[in-house]
Structure 1
Amino acid sequence: MLSLLAETKYHKHVKAFLENNTDYRYIEELGVGSYGVAYLIEHSGSHKKYVLKRMKAKHRSKEKLRQKFNLEIQLLKEIGLLNTPSVISQGEIENIPFYIMDFIEGQTFEQAIFRDGNTFSLDQSLSITKQLLEYVVILHNKGIVHRDLRIPNILFKDDQLYIIDFGLASYIDKNIQSEVIDNPKRAQNHISDLYFIGHFLLFLLYSTYTPTIKKERSWQQELQLPEPVVHYIERLLLLGEPFSSAEEALSLMPLEYASSTR
């Protein structure tokens, strides 16, 4: 309850800060994560929309989390690609760090699948995953791993993919050995992003699946995919030999089952 009251209090601080110190106006709260809160705001002159993200109030005295929040800002600045939001400005509101970034007015794959009921065929799913991998290769070449490539964090607009929420991103640790990774989701190397991409691809493929029996089966049994596709996904999910890099995963995609465009 105290935590909720603290966050409600800081909502008011954010609104007051925008009104009294900036050319932006508050529109609405976009979402709350483990470490931060995001708001949709609008520039009063251009009427262009942006996102203000702040650290949660309850974390303001935790130096490690403050460092992590500042790392997120630093990484976004270093990435500098059209597929990710650009940082516009940063600062503090009542001792809470925040930054303002571009608002990408796209649709997440979570919304597309679960809210709007969109479906993705095998060839579409592979083509979309190829585009995602192409971006991830660029990201890894910049020495950065996202570590949270879930369907709420991947958007599409005009057939172009965008990646948001770099709150768990980190620099790549080249000294990590794949065989000793306990939790692939949190690995600070390519394994993490490829593991998430494997699950992302499965979400796309399951969008066309309708159960025919009540008994739950493995995805290999339920989806009835071509053997090369099954083998490829198993490697992404560490059920087979792991890929040595995102470049290798991209080069070995079974694209004979994918069209060149969505």
Structure 2
Amino acid sequence: MIHLFQKPYRGGAVVNGRYVIERQIGEGSYGVAYVARDEQTNELVVLKQMKRTKTKKRRASFEREAHILKKLNHPQIPKLYNSFDVRGIPHLVMEYIDGDTIETLIFQKNKTYDEKEAFSLLADVLRVVQYIHAHGIVHRDLRIPNIVFRNGVVYVLDFGLARFLHEKNERLFTLEQRLRRSIHVKSDIYALGHFLLFLLYSAYEPKEGEEKSWEEELSLTKEARHVLRRMLQLDRPYASVDSLMRDVSAII
């Protein structure tokens, strides 16, 4: 009998006779992620456990993520080490990238980014995204927790929502869903527009009074404002990361 639900693993649990759970690090609609120690290599890995079975969409998502990670071979993208089922529930084992998110750097380490620094960091992320798009894949979840920095190097994590560009869009009900989740390179560029805004606001000192739009609050050059408006699809959207990269390079 296949169990419909599987309880989250506790610390110390051994999965598939090899992976010792250390702690849970994340949970989404499709699965639960843990840091585990691989007893064969003595290295830390990320173990991802699907939440439930008998759900074709969830299983298809896990299989697609594994397929995408096998297709991508880049030092700034986690490697897929293993995939297996435990009592009918799919699991993935991936490289563990231990680093800081921008949120950690700004709020815990008091890092701030001026315009040039913010665009320079965006360029580092864009080089990885260029590689992803060149392989016919769109990430669709380039949020702050999925962009990590270790020893000055940027890593793009969590391909659970990634899709091949030839796939059809599922039903997207709201404008925000269409902007962030459409199977098009523009959705990644839109998400990185918000990532860039977050960087730029790190150096902003709020004044008393009404909240204003980012265009009123942030002191940006005309070129930076133009790029950000296009990334956020307020003006003609970028059709590719390559064209965006050219404009970003001109700023830095």
TM-score normalised per structure 1: 0.86
SS at 2:200 equivalent: helix
Could you say which residue in structure 1 is the equivalent of 2:83? 90
Could you say which residue in structure 2 is the equivalent of 1:220? 215
For residues 17 and 42 of structure 1, what CA distance do their matches in structure 2 show? 10
For residues 33 and 235 of structure 1, what CA distance do their matches in structure 2 show? 30
Give yes or no for the alignment of 1:15 onto 2:13: yes
**Which shows bigger deviation, 241-250 or 9-18?**
9-18
Could you say which residue in structure 1 is the equivalent of 2:165? 172
CA contact (8 A) 2:190 2:233 kept: yes
Gap change, CA 1:145 and 1:227, over 3 Å in 2: same
Gap change, CA 1:112 and 1:152, over 3 Å in 2: same
Give yes or no for the alignment of 1:120 onto 2:113: yes
SS at 2:82 equivalent: strand
For residues 111 and 80 of structure 1, what CA distance do their matches in structure 2 show? 27
Could you say which residue in structure 2 is the equivalent of 1:149? 142
For residues 165 and 202 of structure 1, what CA distance do their matches in structure 2 show? 21
Name stretches of at least 5 consecutive residues in structure 2 with no aligned partner.
none
Q: Match for 2:64 among 68, 71, 77?
A: 71
The amino acid across from 2:197 in the alignment is L
SS at 2:209 equivalent: coil
The amino acid across from 2:71 in the alignment is E
Name stretches of at least 5 consecutive residues in structure 1 with no aligned partner.
1-5
SS at 1:191 equivalent: helix
Could you say which residue in structure 1 is the equivalent of 2:187? 192
Q: Tell me how many residue pairs correspond in the alignment.
A: 242
**Which shows bigger deviation, 39-48 or 191-200?**
39-48
For residues 61 and 93 of structure 2, what CA distance do their matches in structure 1 show? 16
Give yes or no for the alignment of 1:159 onto 2:168: no
Could you say which residue in structure 2 is the equivalent of 1:81? 74
SS at 2:45 equivalent: strand
Could you say which residue in structure 1 is the equivalent of 2:42? 47
1:177-210 per-residue CA deviation (whole Å, 9 max, x = no partner) reads xxxx951101111101100110000000011111
* CA positional deviation for 1:254: 5.6
Q: Using the aligned pairs only, state the percent identity.
A: 34
Q: Match for 2:224 among 218, 225, 229?
A: 229
* CA positional deviation for 1:111: 2.0
For residues 213 and 95 of structure 1, what CA distance do their matches in structure 2 show? 57
* CA positional deviation for 1:118: 2.1
* CA positional deviation for 1:33: 1.5
The amino acid across from 1:102 in the alignment is E
Gap change, CA 1:216 and 1:72, over 3 Å in 2: same
1:28-55 per-residue CA deviation (whole Å, 9 max, x = no partner) reads 1111112110110112354311110111
CA contact (8 A) 1:79 1:139 kept: yes
* CA positional deviation for 1:12: 5.2
Could you say which residue in structure 2 is the equivalent of 1:109? 102
SS at 1:252 equivalent: helix
Could you say which residue in structure 2 is the equivalent of 1:3? none
* CA positional deviation for 1:114: 3.2
* CA positional deviation for 1:13: 11
* CA positional deviation for 1:26: 1.7
For residues 87 and 228 of structure 2, what CA distance do their matches in structure 1 show? 47
TM-score normalised per structure 2: 0.89
CA contact (8 A) 2:128 2:156 kept: no
For residues 38 and 12 of structure 1, what CA distance do their matches in structure 2 show? 12
1:127-173 per-residue CA deviation (whole Å, 9 max, x = no partner) reads 01011111111111100000011111000112111000111100013
